[in-house]
């Protein structure tokens, strides 16, 4: 079984690939990737918890023929900088609010007036937050098993305590202990068929956990803020929204995704057979045609 043992770390830029880009947003160096024609309709991708730019690689490859596809590593993940508390500029950079600021900054930097936002799980939360704050920049939404009323992290009541100075070092030790080795079984735990995972799936996660401060970053994200409750936001969305669920999703049950789609003023629901929680990784062959059909409704593709 393919696996990677976590050992030493190195600066994020030392691990950047040939198509890596970095943009300073509020004093944080944000890693992102851009593919596709500059004058094509834009798609902005928000990854799930533990995910990163590399976990969107299949979507980049499949859609960049007709779309300008942009993905970025949220603060605490991938190759985006994980600033220590001594460098915070007022607002905690590990919050969903900062993900929204990054999304706006990327669109501004690329001179994109509006985009379709695609978010997976906790990335769906960030996409909805971005819509709530800047609806004029959002053309449509595609949410893959979005986390509407919860996320990964400590219980709500414990988060303020865990953020205190005496307990922060304990948190990073817990993260390192829980992380262990990155194996194929581990990265495909939420898939319908873990045997589909390969060495590239392992590498997508392992590289992000070999970056300086990766453990501190995870802990900061997990304790940064209370879990979301975006049910009110869902009911107020005024753009076409696609909700996709894997029939074998054990993280967020398909019935909850169906309810989310039903609560949206212009929502539609699609269930992918034999698919788990992250269809963009496990079954891009099923997901991409669904995304293309949805995008074609508005972009004439």
- Residue 142: give the domain boundaries: 3-299
Binning the chain into helix, strand and coil, the percentages to the nearest 5 are: 45, 20, 40
What values do phi and psi take at 15, rounded to 5?
-105, 5
User: Hey, what's the torsion of the CAs at 212, 218, 221, 224, to 10 degrees?
Assistant: -90
Residue 2 CB-density burial (10 A; 0-12 exposed, 13-18 middle, 19+ buried): middle
The confidence score (pLDDT) of residue 1 equals 41
What values do phi and psi take at 71, rounded to 5?
-130, 155
- Residues in the chain predicted with pLDDT less than 70, given as ranges, are 1-8, 150-171, 174, 176-180, 300-301
Report the DSSP pairing between strands 182-183 and 3-4. antiparallel
CATH of the domain at 268: 3.40.50.1820
The confidence score (pLDDT) of residue 143 equals 98
What is the per-residue pLDDT across 261-297, written as a single tens digit (0 to 9) for each? 999 999 999 999 999 999 999 999 999 999 999 999 8
CA distance 226 to 230: 12
How many domains, the chain? Answer: 1
* CA 197 distance to own-chain centroid: 19
Helices (H), 112-264: 122-133, 159-162, 168-179, 184-187, 199-206, 214-223, 231-236, 254-263
What is the per-residue pLDDT across 3-55, written as a single tens digit (0 to 9) for each? 555 556 888 888 899 999 999 998 999 999 999 999 999 999 999 998 999 99
Helices (H), 65-191: 96-109, 122-133, 159-162, 168-179, 184-187
Q: Report pTM.
A: 0.91
User: Hey, what's the torsion of the CAs at 183, 184, 185, 187, to 10 degrees?
Assistant: 90
How much is the CA Rg of the chain, to the nearest whole Å? 18
The confidence score (pLDDT) of residue 150 equals 66
- Name the one residue in this structure whose structure tokens are 């590399």: 54
């Amino acid at each position: 079984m393919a696996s990677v043992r976590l050992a030493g770390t190195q600066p994020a830029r030392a691990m950047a690939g040939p198509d890596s880009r970095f943009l300073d947003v509020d004093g944080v160096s944000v890693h992102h990737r851009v593919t596709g024609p500059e004058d094509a309709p834009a798609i902005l991708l928000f990854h799930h918890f533990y995910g990163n730019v590399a976990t969107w690689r299949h979507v980049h490859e499949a859609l960049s023929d007709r779309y300008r596809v942009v993905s970025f590593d949220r603060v605490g993940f991938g190759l985006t900088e994980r600033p220590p508390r001594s460098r915070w500029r007022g607002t905690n950079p590990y919050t969903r609010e900062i993900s929204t600021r990054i999304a706006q900054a990327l669109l501004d930097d690329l001179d994109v007036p509006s985009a379709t936002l695609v978010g997976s799980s906790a990335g769906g939360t960030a996409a909805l937050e971005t819509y709530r704050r800047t609806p004029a920049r959002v053309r449509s939404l595609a949410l893959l098993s979005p986390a509407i009323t919860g996320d990964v992290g400590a219980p709500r009541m414990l988060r303020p305590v865990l953020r205190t100075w005496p307990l922060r070092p304990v948190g990073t030790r817990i993260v390192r202990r829980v992380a262990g080795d990155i194996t194929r079984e581990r990265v495909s735990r939420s898939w319908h068929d873990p045997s589909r995972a390969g060495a590239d799936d392992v590498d997508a996660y392992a590289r992000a956990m070999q970056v300086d401060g990766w453990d501190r970053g995870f802990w900061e994200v997990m304790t940064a803020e209370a879990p979301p409750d975006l049910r009110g936001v869902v009911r107020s969305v005024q753009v076409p929204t696609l909700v996709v669920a894997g029939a074998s999703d054990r993280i967020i049950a398909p019935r909850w995704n169906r309810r989310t789609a039903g609560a949206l003023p212009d929502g539609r629901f699609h269930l992918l057979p034999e698919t788990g929680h992250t269809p963009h990784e496990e079954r891009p062959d099923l997901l991409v045609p669904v995304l293309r059909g949805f995008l074609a409704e508005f972009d004439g593709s």
